[in-house]
Amino acid sequence: RQYDDTFRLRYAKMTNAMLRWDLPALIEAYKELGIKVKNPDDPAVYVEMGRAFMETSREGEGYANADLVAESNQRFEKAMRANPVTDIPRELLLIMRVTGLLSGLGKHLGSRVDVTETLLPYTQAALDGAKIAR
Interatomic CA distance for residues 29 and 20, integer angstroms: 13
pLDDT at position 134, please? 60
Task: Write out pLDDT tens, residues 48-97.
Answer: 888 877 766 666 666 666 777 788 788 888 888 899 999 999 999 999 88
Phi first, then psi, for residue 109 (nearest 5°) are -90, -5
At 85-125, the pLDDT tens digits run: 999 999 999 998 898 888 788 778 887 878 888 889 999 99
pTM of the model: 0.81
Beta bridge partners of 133: none
C-alpha–C-alpha distance, residues 80 and 85, integer Å: 7
Domain ranges of the chain: 5-133
Cβ neighbours of residue 26 under 8 Å, at least 6 residues apart? 14, 17, 18, 46, 47, 50
